Chains A and B, each alone.
Chain A
């Protein structure tokens, strides 16, 4: 018997506003693999990510984490999950550092928030409220969690939005490191990604 895959979605069907986005969709992801969700706007990429994270319930089908339904092992699944939506989930009135420190208290983090911010070129902006940062800088603050988290599975919704070229390079490098360190990634993007072990899934 082979071990259960890390993440397995079987026969997933998603209906939004009476429109069927996809049905009987099978998704499989193993350690060290990345899954790249392609598709036109409104084809259900975000919906699929939300279903895989357990935020939304699929109309039909199940999502299994290491062979167990995510509904039955929610908390242990979430210790291994990092979901970054297209909303950066940062508080405008808090500083970059305060935002990251909060997430460190909320989930599994290691390493220093300051270091991650410096690494992402935000040195000197640590104590600035998020509302004073540019869109790209906000995105970098949100993405800094990828350098801090110990989660094994990353679900990334359009992480490259508003990033400049060096930012994109940085992020790709970090994703490659994560895959090499027995991680796994599901990502949606309109940008071409260059990663080893990447599988494409077109939802259109």
Chain B
């Protein structure tokens, strides 16, 4: 009998392997992220002060949408080819397997956003303090976005056109993350401390980390019914 740890890392390995072999999957979200932010100055105008003012919000919204776009296919392939059934029938706790899938997904789609974000901060003339705060806020915020969004994905996976429903389900839940995330960048850019905003963002993540996998597992069982 395989141990739960083996199952966790087995699934993680399979997911990472699959993404590496399908290049489009992991190139899309960062490309979307970069394009949205890079096109913005063309529409707004090149005034550094205006750009610096809206930079935190724009970068955060772009990261949020990039995450949402990438999430739609999280369980879709597994659902279509029958692997999801095999996960549901595994002798290991389903929330644990869900967590492995989400970790793989975040490593491929969330982490690149965190790493690229300082560069985009420079592009939008964000002050140095803001540029430094940006990846920190995204590092805490994007896993929360993935965890919360996946609940919606699990509930809509059996629907052929679940995309719009997914957006409607998930966006209200994303609002707190967006507000605290943006505030955690805006404050240092204006010379204020941001420990409070980061703490609240961290609290959201700490709350989502154990609870979301339970909800996702239940959602998947309902969807496969």
Listed in ascending order, the chain A residues whose CB lies under 8 Å from chain B are 53-57, 75-76, 78-79, 81, 83, 85, 87-94, 98, 101-109
Contact = CB atoms under 8 A, between A and B. Distances in A.
Contacts, number: 80
A85 B85 contact: yes
Given A57-B225, A94-B17, A94-B18, A105 B2 contact: yes
A111 to B, nearest CB: 14
A55 B10 contact: no
A107 B22 contact: no
B83 A91 contact: yes
Contact of A75 (B10, B22, B92): B92
Contacts of B93: 75
Nearest to B77: A91
A52 B199 CA distance: 47
B2 A108 contact: yes
B36 interface: no
Given A78-B89, A83-B86, A91-B18, 4 more contacts: A56-B225, A75-B92, A87-B81, A94-B18
B190 interface: no
Contacts of A85: 82, 85
Taking each of B6, B85, B224, which has the highest tally of chain A beta carbons within 10 Å of its own beta carbon?
B85
A83 B10 contact: no
- B: contact size bracket: 20 to 34
6 contacts: A88-B81, A90-B83, A91-B83, A102-B11, A105-B2, A107-B2
Interface string B76-100: 0000011101111111110000000
Contact of A106 (B10, B21, B225): B10
B213 to A, nearest CB: 16
Nearest to A93: B21
A109 B13 CA distance: 18
Contacts of A89: 81-83, 85-86
Contacts of B13: 102
Taking each of B1, B22, B86, which has the highest tally of chain A beta carbons within 10 Å of its own beta carbon?
B86
Nearest to B90: A106
A98 B11 CA distance: 11
B7 A53 contact: no
Interface string B1-41: 11000110111011001100110000000000000000000
B225 to A, nearest CB: 5
Contacts of A94: 14, 17-18, 21
Nearest to B20: A93
Contacts of B21: 93-94
